[in-house]
């Protein structure tokens, strides 16, 4: 079960914008993310712009800030439901890896990829150590399924934006949650909610279809 982060688990802002506000370059990043959403910039170009703002910041400082990242209600309950039904909840996202690690520590998701800011010692150096786009997101998800000996037909995904479209296109079941038009068109189902527990009936129906 693959979950997007920005716009899905983080409902009111992007995790990048949240961190950029603490780092002091949020206006520049917000403009870059708008241009990405409009198809004017690539994910790699946005990552380079964002990573520059991390230069000289301690890893521990970013981790501490992420404790305050605003998240949708009900994440813990949905992650627990997945595990109780022997379904692995996995983060499939273009958010920076510290964001995925923070959410994973809090709720028990599996971290599966994401871009990385370069590190020198215990400090971010402002470079992109690993780029990660929507096709990497799809490919890493499919690779994890193979590693777990699970067919793609036994997987599903929840997301909200065009970065989820490649993954939605290769899975039989997907949910566009509070989504934009690209994700809505690509997904098999859609829902608007401010409480993630409302997706549990949808997950139950999906699980029944696996039998």
Of the chain, the percentage scoring pLDDT greater than 90 comes to 91
Q: Does 211 score more than 70 pLDDT?
A: no
Tokens of 136: 């990497």
List helix spans (H) across 1-153.
15-23, 26-37, 43-52, 59-66, 75-84, 97-107, 134-147
Give this prediction's pTM.
Answer: 0.94
Using one digit for the tens of pLDDT, what is the confidence trace for 50-85? Answer: 999 999 999 999 999 999 999 999 999 999 999 999
What is the pLDDT at residue 13? 79
Q: How confident is the model at residue 113 (pLDDT cuts 50, 70, 90)?
A: very high
What is the pLDDT at residue 157? 98
* Phi, psi of 171, rounded to the nearest 5 degrees: -110, 145
Among 119, 49, 108, 29, which residue's Cα sits nearest to residue 76? 108
Of the chain, the percentage scoring pLDDT greater than 70 comes to 100
* Beta-strand relationship, 116-120 and 173-177: unpaired
Q: What angle do CA 56, 61, 67 make, to 5 degrees?
A: 145
Q: Does 33 score more than 90 pLDDT?
A: no
* Beta-strand relationship, 189-191 and 123-130: unpaired
């Amino acid at each position: 079960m693959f979950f997007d982060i920005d716009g899905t688990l983080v409902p009111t802002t992007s995790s990048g914008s949240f961190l950029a506000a603490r780092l002091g370059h949020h206006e520049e990043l917000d403009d870059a993310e708008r241009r990405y959403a409009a198809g004017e910039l690539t994910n790699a170009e946005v990552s380079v712009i964002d990573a520059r703002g991390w230069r000289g910041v301690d890893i521990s400082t970013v981790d501490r800030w992420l404790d305050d990242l605003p998240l949708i209600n009900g994440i813990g309950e949905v992650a627990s439901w997945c595990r109780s039904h022997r379904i692995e909840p996995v983060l499939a996202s273009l958010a920076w890896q510290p964001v995925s690690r923070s959410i994973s520590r809090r709720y028990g998701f599996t971290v599966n990829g994401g871009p990385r800011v370069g590190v020198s010692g215990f400090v971010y150096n402002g470079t992109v150590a690993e780029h990660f786009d929507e096709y990497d997101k799809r490919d890493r998800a499919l690779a994890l399924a193979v590693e777990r000996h699970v067919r793609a037909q036994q997987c599903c995904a929840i997301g909200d934006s065009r970065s989820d479209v490649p993954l939605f296109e290769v899975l039989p079941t997907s949910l566009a949650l509070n989504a934009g038009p690209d994700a809505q068109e690509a997904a098999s189902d859609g829902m608007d909610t401010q409480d993630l527990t409302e997706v549990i009936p949808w997950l139950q129906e999906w699980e029944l279809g696996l039998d």
